Structure 1
Amino acid sequence: MLMAHPTVLRNLVARYESLSSHTAPAVDTDGKGAAGRMTVEADPEIHRQLADVSYTLCVSTGTREIGSALAAAREHIASAA
């Protein structure tokens, strides 16, 4: 399988982390334990960018979910160092 260059992956991971920093814990308004979930702030542009970089990370690492994509990207970056 082809893997993106470590510099590209490093930039994607940094972008994902930067956009993720704009998330905040969900407010538990119904008493059903929403505090564990994360929600993107109201800005739809941040939401779109986070979705785009998540998709790109998944495609670049041959994975289907962001957690796996981040792990694969970090592993590839570390092995290239």
Structure 2
Amino acid sequence: MLMPHPTMLRRLVEEYETLMSHPGGGDMEGSDDGTGQRVLRAQDLAYTLCVSTGTREVGRALEAARRLLAAAHDPVAARYLAPPHDSAVPG
């Protein structure tokens, strides 16, 4: 399985949690206050988190993301999360 880069994963988690912490972040109806756009963005982030972590539910995706981010702070585990600097894909 491909591993998401910790920086990208951290950004996804932070943005998703920020959106969900705002009033109306989980509402499914749009309104003139931007709630509809927040809902769409939260759905996009949830989908991306699920794809990035190989899960199908956003709760499990967040759990997996947190585990991956914690492992990224462990020097031994971190080398399994990021490709080596000299790994280039032939073009």
TM superposition score normalised by structure 1: 0.76
TM superposition score normalised by structure 2: 0.68
RMSD: 1.7
More strand by share: 1
1:3: which partner in 2?
Answer: 3
For structure 2, which runs of at least 5 residues remain unmatched after alignment?
74-91
For structure 1, which runs of at least 5 residues remain unmatched after alignment?
25-37
Higher relative contact order (CA 8 A, sep 6+): 1
Query: Percent of aligned positions with the same letter in both sequences?
Result: 53
Q: Are 1:19 and 2:19 matched, yes or no?
A: yes
CA shift, 1:3, in A, is: 1.4
Among 49, 64, 79, the alignment partner of 2:41 is: 49
Larger radius of gyration: 2
Give CA-to-partner distance per residue, 1:20-76, whole Å, 9 cap, x none.
Answer: 01245xxxxxxxxxxxxx842741101100000000000000000001100000000
